[in-house]
């Protein structure tokens, strides 16, 4: 009896039905999204080129060969990509990000509405950093309401500003002041203005912070509380020094503020004592 090693050679080869005899020599085609810049070959014409245009509606694509000649083909089977057969499909569309439903201040976002023509009423904000923070969080709301925010260099200049502006029933003024606490210089100035003839057309509110930086929750910046700075030291410079931030000159302070402002995503990153005051001002100057 012959051993297995003595079996005669199969002169007709192996059973063709035992394998995928219908499989093309280059392999089966796979789907591939047509993309601009992709280099493919159309098998029937052997036209090889880069995809330079795609028409999703007509389901066609245009190939440009190395001589800068172009030819359009129907999208689908019949292409080679790096020698392998592919079925070119329309490119995947990237979904458009959903428009936000809320503004940075937490208000319902209104899309497709033009900014209202500016009201005569105004909001004065003491300090450039204060104005930038108000714009970042409440800017969308203010544009919809047509409220202009004006930069006020300091509360000492408020009386002169009001004298020039001439507040009245249709020209109300809201003022946001730093460090408006009982007994402070700021509170004395505010009380004097409120008792004046224009007082009923002016609303002065403030926050308890020495500087508007403190209205930003320190946790957004990676520390638990804002530093205590001696009154004899400039607050911004002393704060940067204690936090280990550069503080040599005004450029360093400006960069520090950009870092603080950049950490603010919206109302949730601000102290509630500021939120309520700004909302109060907006209501005052937009009231009918």
Per-residue pLDDT band at 6 (split at 50, 70, 90) = low
Can you tell me the mean pLDDT for 169-190? 88
Can you tell me the mean pLDDT for 73-82? 91
Per-residue pLDDT band at 12 (split at 50, 70, 90) = very low
Can you tell me the mean pLDDT for 55-59? 81
What does the DSSP assignment read for the chain? ---GGGPPP-TT-S-GGGS-TTS-TT---EEEE--TT-EEEETTTTEEEEEEEEETTTTEEEEE-TTS-EEEEESSSSEEETTEEEEEEPPPPPPPPPPPSB-TTSPBP--S-PPPPPPS-EEEEESHHHHHHHHHHHHHHHHHHTPEEEEES-GGGHHHHHHHH--BTTB-EEEEETT--TTSHHHHHHHHHHTSTTGGGEEEEE-S-SSGGGGB-GGGGT-SSPPP--TTS-HHHHHHHHHT---SSHHHHHHHHHHHHHT--SGGGB-HHHHHHHHHHHHHHH--
Lowest mean pLDDT among 11-25, 47-61, 72-86, 216-230: 11-25
pLDDT for residue 196 is more than 80: yes
The more confident residue out of 89 and 109 is: 89
Arithmetic mean of pLDDT over the chain: 84
pLDDT for residue 19 is more than 60: no
Give the pLDDT of residue 99.
63
* Share above pLDDT 90 across residues of the chain, in percent, rounded to a whole number: 50
Can you tell me the mean pLDDT for 80-108? 73
Where is mean pLDDT largest: 15-29, 41-55, 81-95?
41-55
pLDDT for residue 220 is more than 70: yes
């Amino acid at each position: 009896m012959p051993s297995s090693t003595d079996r005669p050679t199969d002169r007709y080869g192996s059973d063709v039905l035992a394998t995928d005899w219908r499989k093309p020599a280059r392999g089966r085609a796979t789907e591939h999204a047509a993309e601009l810049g992709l280099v493919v070959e159309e098998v029937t014409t052997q036209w090889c080129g880069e995809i330079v245009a795609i028409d999703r509606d007509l389901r066609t694509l245009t190939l440009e060969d190395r001589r800068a000649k172009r030819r359009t083909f129907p999208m689908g089977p019949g292409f080679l990509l790096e020698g392998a057969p592919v079925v070119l499909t329309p490119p995947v569309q990237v979904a458009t990000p959903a428009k936000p439903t809320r503004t940075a201040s937490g208000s319902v976002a209104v899309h497709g509405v033009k900014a209202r023509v500016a009201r005569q009423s105004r909001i004065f904000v003491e300090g450039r950093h204060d104005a930038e923070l108000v714009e970042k969080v409440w800017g969308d709301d203010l544009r919809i309401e047509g409220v202009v925010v004006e930069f006020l260099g300091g509360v000492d200049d408020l009386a002169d500003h009001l004298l020039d502006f001439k507040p009245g029933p249709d020209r109300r003024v809201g003022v946001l002041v730093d460090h408006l606490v009982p007994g402070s210089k700021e509170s004395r100035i505010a009380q004097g203005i409120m008792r004046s003839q224009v007082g009923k057309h002016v609303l002065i509110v403030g926050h308890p912070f020495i500087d508007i930086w403190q209205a930003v929750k320190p946790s957004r910046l990676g520390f638990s509380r804002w530093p205590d700075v001696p009154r004899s030291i400039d607050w911004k410079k002393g704060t940067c020094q204690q936090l280990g931030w550069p503080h040599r000159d005004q450029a360093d302070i400006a960069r520090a503020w950009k870092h603080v402002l950049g950490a603010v995503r919206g109302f949730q990153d601000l102290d509630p004592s500021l939120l309520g005051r700004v909302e109060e001002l907006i209501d005052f100057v937009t009231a009918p």
